[in-house]
Amino acid sequence: MCGLCGMLGVAHWADGPGAASPTPRQARLRRAALLNDVLSLYRVRVDDWHGTAIAVCGPTGRTELASTLSDLWPKAETVAGRALDPLDPGLLAHLDEIAQGRGR
């Protein structure tokens, strides 16, 4: 993302605050936590980057910035160094384990 877009706050439709997150910052932090649950199987981590992007960090320390949620998955594949399948049975089992651990 260029500096001007970051300064203007170009938003993706999914970046709006949810009912359970009263502020945009809380919504971004909640979204990062959920993304970390999904990507933890691949040793990929995300963090909010100054409220303008998502920093995607791989197991080797390589980092890419994703400007929107739709840009995140290709960046996660880049830093992981391999294709990531959102329908991988191993990933789905991993997410079930996380959900059971939280008492959902």
CA distance 62 to 37: 19
Task: Tell me how far apart the alpha carbons of residues 11 and 9 are, in angstroms, rounded to a whole number.
Answer: 6
In the prediction, which pLDDT does 20 show?
56
Angstrom CA distances, 23 to 2, 52, 103, stand at 25, 15, 26
Confidence of residue 8 (pLDDT cuts 50, 70, 90): very low
**pLDDT at residue 52 tops 80:** yes
Q: What is the DSSP string of 88-102?
A: -HHHHHHHHHHHHHT
How many residues in total does the chain contain?
Answer: 104
Q: Which of 41, 102, 99, 38 is nearest to 72 (CA)?
A: 38
Residue 92, pLDDT score: 92
Please state the pTM of the whole predicted model: 0.72
